[in-house]
Amino acid sequence: MDIPSHDHLTHPLNGKSDHCREGFSLLEMMMVVTLILIVVAIAQPIYHTAVIRAREAVLREQLFTLRNLINEFTRDIGRAPLSLDEIVEKGYLKLLPTDPFTGSNETWVETKEDQPLSASQKTLGIVDVHSGSEETSLEGTPYKSW
């Protein structure tokens, strides 16, 4: 009994030979790579903007928290804190947060009060805090002015 070779078999539906090409041609591979590069080129700026917006949201939250703690300290103690470290020392904050744009907790810019709140206070305390970053936000304002 002769067993037919596969060389002359045809596909029952389309009549084509079973000898199909395996793999992809160079043109097909170049098309796929080109499409991937186009998608990456479109997505990269969107991703970069999303990362900056997230860092801006973290900065806003940290400034809000620090300002609230300065006010709470001032109400409780009767004078403004002399530094952000004093807020940590008195237990109002466990650790000083890291500025998301400078990557350090040492770069916060403290704004001192114009005059002491009480006559017994000998040094000026801080009433506000800002980022120490020189960068500009997506809105066009410097982070140090927030």
Which residues of the chain have a pLDDT value below 70?
A: 1-21
Joined tokens for residue 73: 């300290």
- Does this model's pTM top 0.85? My answer is no
3-class SS at 52? helix
Evaluate whether 118 touches 78 at the Cβ level (below 8 Å).
yes
Q: Where are the domains of the chain?
A: 26-133
Asked whether the beta carbons of 142 and 134 are under 8 A apart, the reply is: yes
Condensed to tens digits (0 to 9), the pLDDT of residues 29-43 reads: 999 999 999 999 999
78 is written with which tokens? 């009767």
Q: pLDDT (tens digit, 9 = 90+) per residue, 84-96?
A: 999 999 999 999 9
Q: What's the rounded Cα separation, in Å, for the pair 60 and 131?
A: 10
AA identity, residue 91: G
CA distances, 51 to each of 4, 91, 108 (Å): 64, 32, 21
